[in-house]
Amino acid sequence: MERVKNIFWLIHLSVWVLFGLLVALQLGGEGSPGWGSTAAGFMATCLYIFYGHFALLTRTAGQKRNRDYWLCLAGIALTGPLPFLLLYPKAYDTGHYSMMLITAVPIFVFLAWLARVTENLVLNTIQKELLEKQAVEAELYYLKSQINPHFLFNTLNNIHTLVYKQAPAAPEAVMHLASLMRYMIYESNAATVPLTRELDYLRDYVSLQQLRYKPSPVVELQVEGETESCYIAPLLFIHLLENAYKHSPARLEPGDLKVRVQVHDGTLHFSVQNPVGKKATNPLEEPGGIGLPNVRKRLALLYPDQHALTIQNTGETFTVQLAIHGLQSPAYARKAHLLHH
């Protein structure tokens, strides 16, 4: 905000220097005697009227125009020609005073009002955008932080069991957990991440969930297309995968959970399908629990008019399909888009 104010003052300085040069060239070109004193007096009057009213408007910003304001404005208007008379003594007559009072005073009072209104409009717009940006970032941070804590506790318990039994899978499970936590805590703070890194995070999650099941993998993950050139908002798919586990039967067969990732012509297609569990659910609750509303909010914030989310529940399988367009762009481009909105 201070930088914007400094830019405004630089504009003020540039405009006044240019205006002063024009006045000096005009009076000097006429060859009138004492043109230097005339130019200096005229500039002093203009500056006094402009910044007198400008400062008055700044001091009374956000207030109603009361009697004190109008009295101060009248004082500035009536004394406006005095700097001209002081610097150009030959103008000591009522004609010069009246001319300045009629011409210079109303013009520069209006210009001061116009400058103050313009600056207020620009500053208020920037302030509003900053507040909206902060609100968006706060909401995104909250939505990203809603990773199921029970998963972490269950994973630690499973790893503890593996370590206690001295199972060969224990070191690998620890590495998967370390990679997952590193991504969640550090890498996910970026506006976007490579899709390949997001997929590595999903693989770590699947590997840790697999500790609950028999050796055959219950998740069938297929990746197609040029994922290396695609960037995505971090932690966007994890809620969909969490819900697939949460709302599946307790016993899962190999390949029951199907995850598809495809990138084609800058469009990312992501789908996850799981069998529907037999346990009773709250009919008022949207299928998928809190994960889908979470994803919907993030998509609306990050990819407005750029995505399509479809849900299909056949009674036997639950499928979520997500398409996001225009993702083959570097991370800084996505960040600039987010700041703009």
| Structure confidence by residue, pLDDT tens digits, 32-69 | 666 777 788 888 888 999 999 899 888 887 677 778 88
Q: How far apart are CA 82 and CA 73, in angstroms?
A: 15
Task: Read off the pLDDT of residues 259-275 as tens digits, 9 standing for 90 and up.
Answer: 999 998 889 999 999 99
- Amino acid letter, 173: A
Looking up tokens 């000591």 gives 92
pLDDT category, 338, cuts 50, 70, 90? very low
Q: Which of 148, 138, 109 is nearest to 241 (CA)?
A: 148
pLDDT category, 105, cuts 50, 70, 90? confident
> What 3 state SS string does the chain have?
CHHHHHHHHHHHHHHHHHHHHHHHHHHHHHCCCCHHHHHHHHHHHHHHHHHHHHHHHHHCCCCCCCHHHHHHHHHHHHHCCHHHHHHCHHHCCHHHHHHHHHHHHHHHHHHHHHHHHHHHHHHHHHHHHHHHHHHHHHHHHHHHCCCCHHHHHHHHHHHHHHHHCCCCCHHHHHHHHHHHHHHHHCHHHCCCEEHHHHHHHHHHHHHHHHHHCCCCCCEEEEEEECHHHCEECCCCCHHHHHHHHHCCCCCCCCCCEEEEEEEECCEEEEEEEEECCCCCCCCCCCCCCCHHHHHHHHHHHHCCCCEEEEEEECCCEEEEEEEECCCCCCHHHHHHHHHHC
Arithmetic mean of pLDDT, 190-194: 87
Task: Read off the pLDDT of residues 225-281 as tens digits, 9 standing for 90 and up.
Answer: 988 888 888 888 988 898 888 888 888 888 999 999 999 888 999 999 999 876 544
What's the start-to-end Cα distance of the chain, in Å? 18
Please give the structure tokens belonging to residue 5: 């104010």
Burial of 64 (0-12, 13-18, 19+ CB in 10 A): exposed
Strand bridging mode 219-225 / 257-264: parallel
Q: Which of 331, 317, 138, 306 is nearest to 234 (CA)?
A: 331
Lowest mean pLDDT: which of 1-5, 125-129, 136-140, 319-323?
Answer: 136-140
Largest CA distance in the chain: 106
Arithmetic mean of pLDDT, 80-91: 71
Q: How far apart are CA 311 and CA 273, in angstroms?
A: 10
Q: How far apart are CA 154 and CA 219, in angstroms?
A: 18
Share above pLDDT 90 across residues of the chain, in percent, rounded to a whole number: 21
Beta bridge partners of 259: 221, 272
Looking up tokens 């210009």 gives 111
pTM for this prediction = 0.56
Q: Beta-carbon neighbour count of residue 39 at 10 Å?
A: 21
Cβ pair 42, 26 in contact under 8 A? no
Domains annotated for the chain, with CATH where assigned, are 1-141 (no CATH), 146-338 (3.30.565.10)
